[in-house]
Structure 1
Amino acid sequence: MLYIQNFGLTYYDQDSATQGFTLYARNAGKQVWLINMEGDVVHEWQTTGGTTNFNYLRENGNLFICEKVDEGPGVVSGKSGRMREYDWDGNVVWEHLDDHQHHDARRLENGNTVYIAWKELTSAQSKKVKGGIPDTELDGKIYCDAIREVDEKGDIVWEFSNDYNEFFDKYYINPLAPREEYGHANTIFPMADGNYLISYRVFDLLVIVDRKTGKLIWEYQNHSLGGQHDCQELENGNILVFANGHNTPANSNPGPNFSQVWEIDPKTDEIVWKYFSKRNPLNFWSPHISGCQRLKSGNTLICEGGKGRIFEVTPSGEIVWEYINPFFGPHPAYTDSEINWVFRAKRYSSDSPQIQNRV
């Protein structure tokens, strides 16, 4: 019996693909790779402060990443704790430690840094948490999510957390998810107007927080999101998000779980564009991690994280570039098998500030 599995670059339509360089890392690895359109590694960073999931390039060409530390809560998913910036040559030029930090963080133009952190609920608050699998708290504890903004000295200058009565009353944990986390926020996106866009996985919920008032000014819950990731504001004001389609029967009526990428108009809550596999929905499915990026050409770069697959589609859904991470390694917190999972991937054009005159 013959088994064929392709890795690396598997498809490239040079006329339709958006030219540039793609940045990604294997989950729980210590390398971050920048590849060209042919799938060749043109630059590599080696992390020195722990394994990494999340990373992106700043406009000065520095690599910003989140690295895992051993200290802090024992929650496995998305655990980080060390935020670092490496220059192009791999030297550490900035660092902030918070052993409760997880999943996502961003450097801001004013020098501040915003990130997601676990925050332990009190016993009284924990009793208000609805949903989830019974008796799956972490050593009897439940952690909500705090969005923290720190200045260049590391002092907290702003914080928002989902630990208030109105939130407890309105949002419950997915019944198939453990009760150790009340929220499982996995994305914090700074918006053009200074507000923050947040993704809460176990609520199938996207929200916008007014930074000035600390109030929610947009709430979008749709259980067809299925534990979504990587929400972001587009230049047209719409929201792009990877809808994992996990633990939900709502993708079809009835039908299996499968993933999609949605563009949502926050003024109307209408899904104005979506991508899914039209040939077989199950050809495109990642129950966890994953991401998306709207490119300047109008195409969309998609990271199907659980398969290590990164691909680009046109507005009509035609695949014009595909790459599958060929680098496997251990992820002992999750599995005894080696994995090639990719949390997110981002593409940068050759004339972008991140890349220009560097490659």
Structure 2
Amino acid sequence: MPATHRHRETQMMRMLVLGTLTLCLCTPSGDAQTAWKGETLVSPLGNNNTFLVDMNGKTVKTWSCSARPGLIAYLFDDGSILRPCRDSGGSFSGGGAGGRLQRYDANGKLTWDYYFSTSSHQQHHDVQPMPNGNILLIAWERKSNQEAVAAGRQSITGEMWPTLIAEIKPVGATGGTVVWEWHAWDHLIQDVDSRKPNYGVVADHPELIDINFGKVSRGDWIHANAIDYNEKLDQIVFSSHFLHEFYVIDHSTTTKEAAGHTGGRSGKGGDILYRWGNPQAYGRGTSADQKFFVVHGANWIDGGLPGEGNILAFDNGDRPGRNNDYSTVVEVVPPVDTKGHYFIAPTKPFGPATPVWSYSDRSSFYSNHLSGAYRLPNGNTIICEGTSGYLFEVTAAGKKVWDYDYQGSIARAERYWTSPLAADTRTVPASTGGSVGFTVKAGSSHAKRGYLLVGGITGTSPGLLLPGGKVTLPINPDVFTSLVLAALNTPLFANFLGVLDAGGKGAAKANLPALDSAFVGMKMDFAYCLFGPFDYVSNAVRVEVVR
């Protein structure tokens, strides 16, 4: 084709796409109506298998394991899985008991088999793979009745098992080294006996856990059930069944600092940085202020996803009495001050007063334990109703767009996908500027289709509903979006509008100039859509201007 014809065709494509997108920008954002494609990893409580199901509910991969789960598995990019499971000889017995961590490769071969199970401690419920290759886990830690009474616990006749969090570095085929640990026992308060340790006014110390709050069931006290890690903040979140809260702690500490009240990025050592769900647990509320009635599955929304940095949790809704029980998935925006520290006003509970988003259906949505939810790149949320094993995906407006009914208990289930957009760097120095190379991978089924890469600086949620109402681009349109559209395929934003090759791939590059220091900290999100029709969007990739 002559160059003049190619140029004319490119200009026509540009005008068509920009005209359509301009109309879209002038229309209020709505709600995507399609599910986010991927495969969902399922570990049923009733058998030893872990498997992947596709969008049609077909099992496409199975790992036959040696024990029941304890309780949720994780999939890695190399096709292997990490799966906590039950230690049949463990000395602790309770809901979610594990004690053994196993890794199976993509072919189902066991490559690592490690026990975190002794007479003094045992893993349970959950683990969390970390970017450095280590693994975070939650465990029970055994305290005798004498130790519990000496610490100020009242009305207890047996043992007490507070939460222990450990970071494990895998070693060889069966080994592991504890490289960091945190103990709830180091962060207690009680207001009953001034002769005993940890005495103080509970309401004055929301950073501590009241040893007398909540029941102890056969030793189990906090009953943590999920753990997640935020690499950017270097913080951990975990949720508590019995205390009806989730907690955030600092991971940037040393183990010694984690046992105390100073040190780490926060300067607070291992004390609670933030908690939400039940203010009466720390003396700053009553039962009327309780948000969670049993909570599971607390996790941060990952970077680049709508709601990035917010916390999702599953409120089981097991309210007092026999009536009015229903579950709710909530998205919480933690309150932070100008320095990024969690904020709590004197005598008041931690905010917010209400979630920024929630999903519930009082007529049919209820699981009194287990369960969880995860955000997806298109703004949808995948939910596991744990006791029934019913998995489903809802849009931001609560419309159900996918489901899978296993008909058996599942703790939680996460969806995995190949990220359609990747960047070769996530930072650009303000003083010099720099280039960011983008790899567009939509897959061969989208070969030869047109793509448009755009950006924004005001976040990814609620995003931009594209024409046709099928998909929402995870970019909030703003002045930066207009700049990108005005400079498409110039040296500033090279190949931001193009056509995918036969493999459904493309490449683009942002060549950003040096910027004033006032722009340090600016976060630019990029995502692309396919057009003709608008039926496919990518994940968002965040690039930050740094010093």
- Per the alignment, residue 302 of structure 1 pairs with 383
1:189 maps to amino acid: D
Q: State the match for 2:285 in structure 1.
A: none
Name the amino acid aligned to 2:395.
Answer: T
Per the alignment, residue 216 of structure 1 pairs with 272
| Residue 220 (structure 2) aligned to one of 181, 184, 197 | 181
2:86·2:99 contact (CA, 8 Å) conserved in 1?
Answer: yes
* d(CA) in 1 for partners of 2:244, 2:298: 12
**Which of 413, 427, 431 is equivalent to 1:345?**
413
Q: Which residue of structure 1 lines up, in the alignment, with residue 292 of structure 2?
A: 225
SS in 1 for 2:71: strand
- Counterpart for residue 355 of structure 2: 271
CA distance in 1, matches of 2:248, 2:329: 19
Report the equivalent of 1:88: 106
Which one has the bigger strand percentage? Answer: 1
Partner of 1:241: 313
State the match for 2:89 in structure 1.
71
- CA distance in 2: counterparts of 1:73 and 1:108, whole angstroms: 27
1: CA distance, partners of 2:388 / 2:116? 30
CA distance in 1, matches of 2:100, 2:178: 16
The answer to which of 143-152 and 44-53 deviates more is 44-53
Q: Is the 8 A contact 2:222 2:240 kept in 1?
A: yes
- Name the structure 1 match of 2:24: none
Deviates more, 1:105-114 or 1:199-208: 105-114
- Calculate the aligned-residue CA RMSD, in Å: 2.6
User: Against the structure 1 CA distance between its residues 79 and 41, is the aligned structure 2 distance closer, same or farther, given a 3 Å change threshold?
Assistant: same
Q: Deviations over 1:178-232 (max 9, x none)?
A: 2521200111111132211111211111111112122221122323312211111
Please list the CA deviations of residues 58-110 of structure 1 after superposition, one character each: whole Å capped at 9, or x if unmatched.
22221111111122233220001111111111011223211211001122222
CA contact (8 A) 1:25 1:52 kept: no
Provide closer, same or farther for how the CA distance between residues 352 and 161 of structure 1 changes in structure 2, counting only shifts above 3 A: farther
Cα gap change, 1:168/1:209 in structure 2, threshold over 3 Å: closer, same or farther? farther
Residue 306 of structure 1 deviates from its aligned partner by 0.6
Give 3-state SS (helix, strand or coil) of 2:73's partner: strand
Q: Secondary structure at the match of 2:185?
A: coil
Worse-superposed segment, 51-60 or 112-121? 51-60
- The alpha-carbon deviation at position 349 of structure 1 amounts to 2.1
Residue in structure 1 matched with residue 185 of structure 2 by the alignment: 163
Structure 2 counterpart of 1:320:
401
Summarize deviations over 1:303-343 as a string: whole Å, max 9, x none: 000111000101011111111105xxxxxxxxxxxxx1011
Give the secondary-structure state (helix, strand or coil) at the position aligned to 2:377: coil
Residue of structure 1 aligned with 2:327, choices 250, 254, 259: 259
Q: State the distance in 1 between where 2:323 and 2:409 align.
A: 25
- Cα separation, 2, equivalents of 1:183 and 1:151: 25
Counterpart residue identity of residue 274, structure 1: S
Which residue matches 2:48? 30
2:161 to 135, 143, 150: 143
Deviation at 1:344, TM superposition (A): 0.8
Seen in structure 2, the aligned counterparts of structure 1 residues 168 and 345 have a Cα distance that, compared at 3 Å, is farther
Between the aligned partners of 2:404 and 2:152, the Cα distance in structure 1 is 41
Task: Specify which structure has the bigger relative contact order, considering alpha-carbon pairs within 8 angstroms and separated by 6 or more residues.
Answer: 1
Equivalent residue number for residue 207 of structure 1: 247
Identify the residue that residue 131 of structure 2 maps to in structure 1: 109
**Aligned mates of 1:25, 1:112 — CA distance in 2:** 22
For 1:272, the aligned partner's letter is: V
Q: Which residue in the other structure is 1:335 paired with? A: none
Distance 1:238 1:25 in 2: 26
User: Which amino acid is the alignment partner of residue 229 of structure 1?
Assistant: H
Matched, 1:61 2:83: no
Structure 1 letter corresponding to 2:272: L
The 1-side partners of 2:357 and 2:419 are apart by 28
Q: Percent identity?
A: 28
SS of 1:163 mapped into structure 2: helix
Tell me, yes or no, if the aligned pair for 1:291 and 1:344 is still in contact at 8 Å: yes
Pairing partner for 1:289 from 370, 383, 402: 370
Q: Which moved more, 1:55-64 or 1:121-130?
A: 121-130
Change (3 A) 1:59 1:152: same
Instruction: For structure 1, list consecutive stretches of 5 or more residues without a partner in the other structure.
Output: 1-13, 327-339
| Moved segments of 4+, more than 4 Å | 49-52, 128-131, 167-170, 350-353
Q: Larger C-alpha radius of gyration, 1 or 2? A: 2
d(CA) in 1 for partners of 2:67, 2:420: 28
Residues 2-33 of structure 1, C-alpha deviation per residue, up to 9 Å, x if partnerless?
Answer: xxxxxxxxxxxx95111111111211311112
